Structure 1
Amino acid sequence: MLKKALIGLAALFLLGPSLGILTIAVLMNPAGQAAGTGCLDLPRDDDPGFHDDAPIPDEALPWIATAAQTCQELPSVWIAAVMYQESSFNPAAFATDINGGTWGLLQINQHIWRSVYGPVSSDRNNNGLWDILEPDIHAEYGAIYLCDLLDDIRTTRQTHPEWPSTQELTELEALVVAHNAGPGRLATYPDIPQITRDYLNNIRQRMRDWPDLDHDDTDNADNGTDELDLERPQPHHGAVVFPLPDGTWRLTSPFGWRTDPTNPDSRELHPGVDLAAADGTPIYAIADGHVTRAETTSSGLGIITLIHTIRGDTIASVYMHMWDYGIHVRTGQHVQAGQHIGDVGSSGRSTGPHLHLEIRPGGPTADAVDPMPWLEQHGATHPDSDETADPGHCHPDVGGELPPAPQPFTGTPGGRIPDPTGTGGWVTRQLEHLIAETRRAFPNAGWSCWDQRPGSDSDHPRGRACDVTFGNAIGEHPTDAQRTEGWRMTTWLQTHANALWVDYLIWDGLIWSLNRADEGWRPYDGGGMHNPDDVTGGHHDHVHLSVR
């Protein structure tokens, strides 16, 4: 607990005067309160802190905090584990190698240091010590290098989903291999040097042993500093969750030998379970992991495969029968426990809407086990309980249940249909369908779609965009209730983006787009047409939606 408090304080000192501004922004803008990847530039709040037995000296805590703030993709415990492996937290550590040596906390060679900072002998503060050996400078620019390397790894994994390193390693494990042995080793994995294999196993062990996963979260419950706790764990961290919401499913075909439901004269080994649910029911990732497959096969089967590291073991989870528009992730994408990855459908060889779920310890080609006892043994909770969180939500509580799923658009896109919102203009067929389905779900919203917008690069004159209000006038900030209704609609549209052909949404100073869905809601900069600081330009008074 002491280490948790110290690293939080260290981060506060590192943030300096800007922290007060940031705290005010979080309090005034609830859209930042639950920010996830790519939402707002907030301090990391999904690390669990360090167990008291973790061998991390107090002087290292500010260095870890610096790196975690610089590259918010990296958990503090991962940074600490790598620093310990590389240098035992000795800022002056040096080792010889074929590249001329490695220096400092993260043992960075001169070529990498030059790419992110400058010559290895740089001494910008003129104190007689190379900056690469200054722990705060090294932690900051070392984190920049690791973040850049992680971006490269993600691109490689998307390009090569068939590689064993993509299928069997998490992103952070791949980063360990690339940092230690070079990114080229991801192409040869599992053929890697024994020293790299030992390195990877050491990091895995520390990632299991060092987090303070059992601390009492009530320490800050009443002291008014909850939003400043930079090491507060999020409920989804390390969790295993059930893939469907509670009360929405029933088991229709268990694991094991069965009569083929499409051919009663034959028997087959059923390597998973079938969970019947309404078409469009959300499907959730059972645990943190990454996507190795997300596609509709040539036979018309929708399938998603995720790889997880759970309690040190590699686990593949497989989800089947989603419609093409019901697949919400892409190969190479990182997901978190409870994240909405797809919708129940009835694609492929199926007799009705259901989720076919498989659990394969060891990876996608390993033997399957019965998912139901496996989930129970791993303490799975339902994703709609308070014990899990959807990392894609970068907005306030949407106020209870959302409306039912819409009917998907199945017509021919394009065309010129009279605008049903009364502008006198026209909209495309896909937008006409979205308007009808969304009005059915949110009948009290105000709509205006087609508009000439001369001189602007806008989707409105193309019949592909609408502006929506919730009882407020344009130019007028909505009430809290109206703002919540805006988030209810945008959340619903985001959830069903594929079915409704949504391209992007803008609301409350944030933007979400389908082609960057893994980044969540991002700050809106006006797109070169609007002043984002204005109530209308920042889309605080209306939702903008565009279709493909």
Structure 2
Amino acid sequence: MLKLVAAILVLLFLGPVAGVVSVAALMNPAAISCLSGSLLVGDIPDSLTATTRDGRSITLNRQQLTHAATIIATGGRIAGVGREGVLIALMAALTESNLRMLANPTAYPESVNFPNDGVGSDHDSLGLFQMQSASGWGTVAELMNPEYQARAFFGGPTGPNGGSPRGLLDIAGWQLLDPGQAAQAIEVSAFPDQYQNYQPVAEAILSALTRGRPSTGDAVRPALPETSRVVFPLPAGTFTTSDSFGWRNDPYTGERRFHAGSDLPAPAGTPILAIADGIVTFAGQRGTYGGLIVLEHTVGGERVASYYAHMYETGIHVADGTSVAAGQHIGDVGSAGKSTGPHLHLEIHPEDRTSRPSTRCRGSATTAQQVSTGLT
């Protein structure tokens, strides 16, 4: 079904056999990897039930999920935020307001004149992230706008506050922090440990709301020719292997976390090669990825995206919208973003509208033996 995914797993485990693998030989549909997907919001469900880290079940309604979609879409438009930055924002909004736009008539009587989901009573705080106008986050009218609050939370060069108060992108090294710690650095709560409790809920929201692309978007996406070959992403003899796709102990926190790719340590500056013919859909800096290139390919009539991460800014040699050939030098190995040393972090993202990424990834343990079964 998604043959390129199986091909890359085989290549990563077994090495670049002659550098090229025929797509026609990749016929094992069981050997399908899956990853976290994009930040394009799909259909919003009427409700979603998820469990917090401490075991409490909560159900979010469509209005709450619509606010979550606003946060996701806003983060997806801001360079450097990425999926992990959006996860942090969702954790913060879940903790602060349970994803509700809260007015505060005691501190700001005029706030009830704006669309809201109820009344809050936390001092002089407003909205999804419980921001305070008096602290410089914005006017009451601005803070009663969900998109404005999301932009303020993410901050950075395009944020509305110019770094004061600090948004996520204004915190140096936020990618290296635990997500709960990053949320606390922005919210400065009296209960700093509370954000981590909502991480599983935030992950469930991301999985549910970004499981596929809107059908209307497919019509404007460029047509891609069928790929005829798959190339190993690094030159032979230049790399070793370390962490593979799957569960591992995070090298920064020591916690058991899912690793959504394969790591190939190599000297800084080692050429990174496109694994297949395709088109560049992103090339730039993005959150924990550091320098990131995203390519889209067509295999068996289906779209597959490949992600190449941790390049330095000067190590990116392609631009958005350009076509590339399998084996083309697209970038150089670096150690930008959340990285412990020079390496290529490679992810393969099949576009599957019917399966939830978290279920498909975390419920299966694909091994090299399983992947190679049925391949010739």
User: Do these two structures clear the TM 0.5 threshold for a shared fold by scoring above it?
Assistant: no
- Greater relative contact order: 1 or 2 (C-alpha under 8 angstroms, separation 6 or more)? 2
User: Which TM-score applies when normalising by structure 2?
Assistant: 0.36
Q: Give the TM-score, by structure 1 length.
A: 0.25
Higher Rg of the two aligned structures: 1
